Every structure is written in C-alpha cells, then in structure tokens.
Amino acid sequence: MELIKNLPAVFEEFADARKNAFINVKNVKESGMPVIGSYCTYFPTEIATAAGAASVSLCSTSGETIPDAEKDLPANLCPLIKSSYGFAKTDKCPFFYFSDLVVGETTCDGKKKMYELMSEFKDVFIMELPNSQKETALAFYKTEVLRMKEYVEKKFGVEITDEKIRAAVKLENEIRLAKKRLAEVMKHTPTPVTGLNMFKLLYGSTFKFDRAALPAELNGIADKIEEEYAAGKMEEKKPRIIITGCPIGGVTEKVIEAVENNGGVVVGFENCVGAKLYENLVDEKADDIWLALTKRYLDIGCSVMTPNMNRPVLLGKMIDEYQADGVLEMTLQTCHTYNIEHKKIEAFCRDQKKKPYLMVETDYSTADIAQLNTRIAAFIEMM
C-alpha cells in the first residue's frame, strides 16, 4: 500500500490559499469590487454574492495580537475574541484592512461588546442573532437578514433583487455540495489523506475570491483524491476521530496534529470550518427565498442556541457515516457556551452513540502541546 506523502500542486494551492489571499484581496479591492469581512458562519454570504462583493473570513486564530487586544479587553476573555480585536486594532490583518464593511453577530456577550469597540474605527454591521430556533426567532431573524440586505444596498449603491439572491443561493449551494463531496472522501477506510491535509483544503477554500470557479475546483480535487485512492494511494488504517467544538484553525491546528502524531486520524470536522459550514442547503424553490435563506442559517447547531437540538443531530450523523471510533471536543478557554454544553455532548457520545469522548480546553499559545499529546495519545490508545 502506497502512502500519500506529498499532495499534488492543486492541494498545496488550496492549503496556501489564505497566504495567497493576503495579496489577492488587495487586487480585488483595486479592481473596484467591494469587500465584506466576517467572523462567523451565521453571516449569509449570499447577500455579499448578490451585491457583487467579495466575502472573506477575518483573522482570529493567532495569539500574535492578543497583548495589543488586552489593552482594551479583559485578559480572561476568549482568545478568539481577543485575537479578532487585536488583528483589527493593529491593522495586521490585510483582510480587515481592505474590508469596506465588517459583519458582526451577537453570538455571545464577549463578541457583541467587542464589536462595539471595533465600531469606533471600522464600519461594522451587527446582526442581532436570536439564541433559539423557534418560529418566533425565525421571524425575527428574517427582519435582521433583510436589514442587512438594505444596509449593503445603501452602502454599495446596488439593488439586491430576488432574482439576484436566488442566483447567489444557487451558487452558494453548489459550493456547499462541492465542499461536502470533498470532505466525504474521508469516509473511506483507510482514509485517502490525513485529516490535517483535508482541513487545510476546506479552510483554504474559504479564502478563494472567485466563488463561481470554486465548485469545479473543489470537485476536481475530490476527483483527484478518488482517482489516487483507486490506484492504491492511501493512509494507514488508524482509529478514526471526529472533532467537534469551537472554531479550529491557526494555532489550534495543534489539536489535529496531536491526534495524527499519536496514532489516530481525524476523519471529520463538525465545527465551523467543517460540516456546520456546508451540511445544510437553502431551499432554492421556496416561494419566500428570504425566509428560506434565514432558516438555513438559523438552523446551524451552534452552542449559543438554547436548546441546541441540531448539534447532536449533525454530530450523530457524522459518527455513523464516517465510522468514527471516538469524538474529540476542542473548547477554548472561557468559551462559556461550548464549555457548559460539553457535558451534554459527552453524554450523547458515550450513552447514545457508545463512542469514547474526550474534551480538551486550550488557547492560542503553544505551551500546552506536550499536555495535549499526552492526553490525546492516552485517548487513542483506549480504542
């Protein structure tokens, strides 16, 4: 059996997409195309697409700017929030610098207060996100989606017609389906590639500005992986792990590395760069396309929702379909919603799905790498 040691050039292109996008975003801006930056999967990218704007995820996965952030924010705050604010305040994030508009959302108290401070030096549109998924919440959030649409129209002097939003919905659905197809190559046993390589592909795809070209590019990568797998190029068979919990990326890739350096393989990501981002589609045939768009986003199973019924549904589906041997939850220090919810997720995994579960709490430093390796190695050895 031949192991994949080096990915083809197209894989490397996607893995380096974030780095390349630092340069590309300047070119996009100079071409006259507006740029909208966001931090969260609750941001409806269809509105940016329909407005003819580029959308980009903003920097929030490094500890580099946290000391600058702590001059304004408390030290005992979530590192993701401090990193986000620090990059914005210091202008060390090219995406933030070139963004004409930043979209925030009231997912948690720390973020919404951070957006208040950020609004002092950037145009920030804050979407009021309800913390439940009831019918009344859906009706309210639709008003917020329409309020954002109107703000974007006025900001950039465009009209977002129903025809334009339906075209954007179709394109964004195609992107989700292509991401899902790519991620699902990890259902193979053994896996075609490592979990870290798959993560870099999925994460890199969020920094591609030519969204119309993205489905074909993603499907092309999936085709290439399947072709090489059929030819016998695959990883060794190892215990299969699903990662859930807080957003992952940057420094926190250390958790993926700890799994794969200690005998396991990450076959799926339930969190924001993974299945939460692409699993659900917008109903393209709905009479009320704005309600359908709203429902797709409000149904995301984030821990800020109370009760959060959709997260275990998606996680359980992934455990079954990816033949997971265990579930690893990564939470960030002082991320209260995920830290509180982890007990329910632990009970779901152990009692209902009969799968081992481990929660690790971390931050954006590298000081705990040895501890992570020790705990995760012991977790994998039990399988």
Same domain, 149 and 172: no
How far is Cα 302 from Cα 315, in angstroms, rounded to an integer?
12
Same domain, 111 and 175: no
Q: Cβ distance 232 to 1 under 8 Å?
A: yes
Tell me which H or E stretch contains 54: strand 54-57
Q: Please indicate, yes or no, if residue 327 is contained in any of the structural domains.
A: yes
Looking at the chain, the whole-number percentage of residues with pLDDT higher than 70 is 95
Closest CA to 323 of 353, 286, 290, 283: 353
- With vertex at residue 268, the alpha carbon angle to CA 262 and CA 274, rounded to the nearest 5 degrees, is 125
Judged against a pLDDT cut of 60, whether residue 102 lies above it is answered with: yes
Q: Please indicate, yes or no, if residue 182 is contained in any of the structural domains.
A: yes
Same domain, 105 and 227: no
101: left (phi over 0), alpha (psi -120 to 50) or beta: beta
Q: Please indicate, yes or no, if residue 3 is contained in any of the structural domains.
A: no
Of the candidates 129, 160, 191, which is a domain's last residue?
160
Secondary structure letter of residue 329 according to DSSP = E
Longest CA–CA separation in the chain, Å: 59
Structural domain of residue 149, as residue ranges? 11-160
The three-class DSSP label of residue 349 is helix
Q: How many CB atoms lie within 10 A of CB 167?
A: 15
Number of domains comprising the chain:
2
CATH of the domain at 53: 3.40.50.11890
Tell me which H or E stretch contains 55: strand 54-57
The three-class DSSP label of residue 161 is coil
Token pair of 168, please? 């954007």
Q: Please indicate, yes or no, if residue 350 is contained in any of the structural domains.
A: yes
Q: Please indicate, yes or no, if residue 2 is contained in any of the structural domains.
A: no
Judged against a pLDDT cut of 50, whether residue 291 lies above it is answered with: yes
- Burial call 48-76: b when 16+ CB within 10 Å, e when fewer: bbbbebbbbbbbbbbbbbbebbeeebeee
User: What pLDDT, on the 0 to 100 scale, is given for residue 3?
Assistant: 35
Of the candidates 141, 160, 179, which is a domain's last residue?
160
Q: First-to-last CA distance in the chain?
A: 23
User: What pLDDT, on the 0 to 100 scale, is given for residue 6?
Assistant: 46
User: What pLDDT, on the 0 to 100 scale, is given for residue 9?
Assistant: 53
Residue type at 142 in one-letter notation: K
Average of pLDDT values for 354-380? 97
Q: Which of 34-43, 57-66, 81-90, 99-108 has the lowest mean pLDDT?
A: 57-66
Same domain, 35 and 121: yes
What is the tens place of the pLDDT at every residue in 104-121? 999 999 999 999 999 999
pTM over 0.75: yes
User: What pLDDT, on the 0 to 100 scale, is given for residue 24?
Assistant: 85
Same domain, 291 and 277: yes
Same domain, 41 and 71: yes
Same domain, 325 and 273: yes
Q: Cβ distance 293 to 145 under 8 Å?
A: yes
Token pair of 169, please? 């919905």
Same domain, 195 and 212: yes
Phi, psi of 249 (to 5 degrees): 150, 160
Of the candidates 160, 184, 202, which is a domain's last residue?
160
User: What pLDDT, on the 0 to 100 scale, is given for residue 262?
Assistant: 98
Same domain, 210 and 350: yes
Tell me which H or E stretch contains 320: helix 310-321
Strand order in the sheet with 265-269: 265-269, 240-245, 326-332, 357-362
Token pair of 205, please? 């795809």
Same domain, 257 and 377: yes
Q: Please indicate, yes or no, if residue 135 is contained in any of the structural domains.
A: yes
User: What pLDDT, on the 0 to 100 scale, is given for residue 182?
Assistant: 97
Same domain, 132 and 220: no
Same domain, 197 and 261: yes
Token pair of 317, please? 């589906």
How far is Cα 326 from Cα 268, in angstroms, rounded to an integer?
11
Closest CA to 173 of 39, 43, 284: 284
What is the tens place of the pLDDT at every residue in 237-276? 999 999 999 999 999 999 999 999 999 999 999 999 899 9
Judged against a pLDDT cut of 70, whether residue 170 lies above it is answered with: yes
Estimate to the nearest angstrom the gap between the alpha carbon of 11 and the chain centroid: 19
How far is Cα 179 from Cα 196, in angstroms, rounded to an integer?
15
Average of pLDDT values for 314-332? 98
Q: Which of 46-50, 53-57, 147-151, 347-351 has the lowest mean pLDDT?
A: 53-57
Q: Please indicate, yes or no, if residue 5 is contained in any of the structural domains.
A: no
Helices (H), 31-65: 45-50
CATH of the domain at 349: 3.40.50.11900
Average of pLDDT values for 87-101? 93
Tell me which H or E stretch contains 169: helix 162-183
What is the tens place of the pLDDT at every residue in 42-80? 999 999 999 999 999 997 888 999 999 999 999 999 999
What is the tens place of the pLDDT at every residue in 172-229? 999 999 999 999 999 999 999 999 999 999 998 888 889 999 999 999 999 999 999 9
Q: Please indicate, yes or no, if residue 241 is contained in any of the structural domains.
A: yes
Considering the chain, what is the average pLDDT of its residues? 93
